[in-house]
Amino acid sequence: MTPARTDPLTIADAAAVLRDGGLCAFATETVYGLGADATRSDAVLKIYETKGRPRFNPLICHCADMEMAERYGIFSERARSIAAAFWPGPLTLVVPLRRGAGLSDLVTAGLDTVGLRVPAHPMARELIAALGRPVAAPSANPSGKLSPTTADHVRAGFGGKVPVLDGGPCQSGLESTIIAVDGETITQLRAGALARDDIEAALGHGIAIAEPNAAIKAPGMLKSHYAPNAAVRLNVSTPALNEAFLAFGAPPAHSGPTLNLSETADLREAARNLFCYLARLDASGAQSIAVAPIPHVGLGEAINDRLERASAPRS
């Protein structure tokens, strides 16, 4: 079946798919999301079934604006000020759930909190506004696999079975940063496309970081995640002859498949290329992908988080 027959060509078409209880992938500035009407349990269930996602892993609800977000989450003054500083943008806020607002229980996976985000991609916000309800949307890929940053990645991941509203390549290439706001305590649950340094600079103080084995309160906290089919080795300066190599900065001579996240060691460029380049090296047929060391500063924190989960033992 051709994309023209399966993919919505307009925002109105995509909104109609969601309104009818279907799934539709769409672009955000971070990665492509697998969207469903967050108020319909039958639709949200399709996300879990299509991705093969564990149902204890909650979903992010994407909202068109702050007004919509406040209908479903309870925002303290502290949470509201953080949202004002970074929304629209690649930041998800985990706040207390507003009971009785109409969100499907499947979205929160039984928690009394909810992750909310107003994306920066204009098409994403227009889609949500056209639906008139929040859109639950994890990354549009089979659970645990590499996140998609183009419409073609989504089509390949699901074998063309999921309709895609093509919004072009994603700008950031990493999922949103997730922080929980609990009274005066602010905790980063997942590093992401908004560097923790930038959040702390805006707040004027440091924030806590969730422990590695903390209970799952948000997406992206599973130990093994974002993984290609090939094994992944980290902090490699000299790859083995039979390995593919994901370089950063000046690459060493290597005869195997090689891609460079950023020859100028630009972490923003590296973040944008990460999932796409891992997918391309995975497609080379190499059994192992060696990854050069990445500085653990700024966006390097999120890049290393994804790489560590990609290299974790597979369950």
pLDDT digits (tens, 9 = 90+) for 106-138: 999 889 999 999 999 999 999 999 999 999 999
- Same domain, yes or no: 301 and 252: yes
pLDDT at 3: 39
The answer as to whether 219 is a domain residue is no
Q: What is the pLDDT of residue 189?
A: 94
Top pLDDT among 217 and 125 is at 125
Is 205 found in the same domain as 175? yes
When pLDDT is averaged across residues 222-249 and rounded to a whole number, the result is 88
Residue 2 has pLDDT above 70, yes or no: no
Say if 215 falls within a structural domain: no
Boundary (domain end) residue, out of 209, 242, 262: 209
d(CA 94, CA 79): 9
Q: Which of 179, 209, 239 marks a domain boundary?
A: 209
Instruction: Average the pLDDT over each of 31-35, 215-219, 272-276 and give the range with the smallest value.
Output: 215-219
pLDDT at 4: 36
- Mean pLDDT (the chain) is 92
pLDDT digits 0-9 by tens, 154-175: 999 999 999 999 999 999 999 9
Same domain? For 168 and 303 the reply is no
Answer whether residue 214 is part of any domain. no
Give the range among 14-18, 62-66, 104-108, 227-231 with minimum mean pLDDT: 227-231
Check the CA dihedral 125-127-133-135 and report its sign.
negative
Average pLDDT over residues 169-188: 94
Under the banding of pLDDT at 50, 70 and 90, the label for residue 204 is very high
Mean pLDDT of 278-298: 95
Distance of CA 109 to the CA centre of its chain: 18
306: CATH: 3.40.50.11030
Confidence grade of residue 228 (pLDDT, cut at 50, 70, 90): confident
Mean pLDDT of 290-306: 95
In a shared domain, residues 9 and 143? yes
Q: Find the range with the poorest average confidence among 25-29, 93-97, 159-163, 307-311.
A: 307-311
Residue 59 in tokens: 């979903």
User: Does 13 share its domain with 135?
Assistant: yes
Q: Which of 209, 242, 264 is where one domain is finished?
A: 209
Residue 279 counted as domain residue = yes
Mean pLDDT over 19-26 rounds to 97
Same-domain check for residues 170 and 236: no
- Please give the pLDDT value at position 219: 67
Residues 176, 240, single domain; the answer is no
Is residue 140 domain-shared with residue 262, that is, in the same domain?
A: no
Inside any domain, residue 218 = no
Q: How far apart are CA 62 and CA 135, in angstroms?
A: 5
In a shared domain, residues 82 and 194: yes
Residue 54 maps to which CATH number? 3.90.870.10
Domain assignment present for 55: yes
pTM of the model: 0.89
65 is in which domain, residue-wise?
A: 3-209
> Which range, of 122-126, 189-193, 253-257, averages the lowest pLDDT?
253-257
Do 254 and 150 belong to one domain?
no
Q: Is residue 299 assigned to a domain?
A: yes
pLDDT confidence bin for 211, thresholds 50/70/90: confident
- Sheet containing strand 258-260, edge to edge, reads 231-233, 288-291, 244-247, 258-260
Residue 217 belongs to some domain of the structure? no
Please give the structure tokens belonging to residue 49.
Answer: 């079934």
Number of domains, the chain? 2
- Whether residues 155 and 294 share a domain: the answer is no
* In a shared domain, residues 127 and 258: no
